[in-house]
Amino acid sequence: MPKSHPPYPQEFKDEAVRLVLFGESSLAQVARNLGVSSNALADWKKAYLKAHETELKDPNNPDSLEAELARLRKENRRLRLERDILQKTVGIFSKEPREDSTL
């Protein structure tokens, strides 16, 4: 007979789902870390998404997935630009001066 757990508080469930949605860990990894089953966490995620459907799609809501995606795309563009600048700088400073040049 499987071991049953007392009901988890809603705050615990919501935080677990936020770790899956906004964290860097997979659902299975979060479930393992929290000591809950992957199936239970998947059910909590479905319920959370259904309950917060309008909030998550509102680009003006800082917690929305669309807002997070827009923020990450902006950060990605900035990081690529910084990388390109650094690559050009390394290229400029890594060139050895010619010995035949006279100043």
Helix, strand, coil shares, percent, the chain, to 5: 70, 0, 30
44 is written with which tokens? 């909590």
Q: Dihedral of the CA atoms 22, 27, 33, 35 (nearest 10)?
A: 130
Is 70 exceeded by the pLDDT of residue 66?
Answer: yes
Please report which confidence band the pLDDT of residue 90 belongs to, taking 50, 70 and 90 as the band edges.
confident
Per-residue model confidence as pLDDT tens digits over 35-62: 999 999 999 999 988 887 766 666 666 6
Cα 49 from Cα 96, distance rounded (Å): 58
